[in-house]
Structure 1
Amino acid sequence: MGRPRLFTRALPVACMVLVALNDHWLKGSGGVPGWLTGKLSDVAGLYFAPLLLAELWLLVWPASCASAAARRVAWMALAVGGGFTAIKTLPEADALYETWLFALLRRPVRNTVDPTDLVALVMLVLSVGTAQRLCRQRAGEGGV
């Protein structure tokens, strides 16, 4: 079976672009309140991240069926949700995350420990639901 397209669809790609634009131009511009730009990145990022990570996993290790691909999105959603919860609630996890991103991007990155951001975790459910729908459609089209 060809791999299902999980991330390479309009909505997940648009969410990734939104995070990039938000993080590089809107945050700190004064044109949009800081609380809104923070929530915007959280919501969009939590939607696309599990889909992107699962698609990368499928490139490295193809799934034997569409339902296995959907399960990978669920596993990635659990991992992303756990990491997000940690960096939004634990100062130690936040410091580690900022250090890791600095090493990766070679520029300072600031995350805000803010448990109210956990409301965005609902986007993980939508991400997994999207994957399940896409994989059911793929299976119905003759995919395994």
Structure 2
Amino acid sequence: MGAMFFAVLAVAVAVAGQLERNYIREKTLEGQVIAASKGNHGGRPKAIDDDMLTFAVALDKGVPVPEIAKKLTIKTREERGQAPSVASLYRDLAEADDAEADDGLPVRPKPIRIRRPEDPLTPRRPSYANGSMPGPTRTPSCGSPTHDLP
């Protein structure tokens, strides 16, 4: 009897923990949506801004990347006034090349979309008309399928 009581208690605690986790997640997502509507998409500011990247792309044709990095100066963050790292410059130049190769539009990709206000907080599960999950279409030896996918 005691083991059953502790098992039920353990399940109740697990359910309460899951409910608390879902509540925290929903509040976090709501806060991110509010911040995104104000223009704050989170994360750390880029060391190499768009102007610096345009300058670096122009110099990339014949100047070595370490020399380009020495000519740039970070305008934000704690490293203000210093040159960006060569690794950051290589990474941003590679992103710029990928963006130009894709469609030729922006040099730097847009920030990741967090969530729109009309999107649900939790993913929706698909509903099926007959209440069963669809399975693969099987074809018997006679050639007609036993059931079709919706």
- TM above 0.5, yes or no, is no
Q: TM-score, normalised by structure 2?
A: 0.24
Q: Which structure shows the bigger proportion of residues in helix conformation?
A: 1
Q: Which has the larger radius of gyration?
A: 2
Higher RCO, 1 vs 2 (CA within 8 Å, ≥6 residues apart)? 1
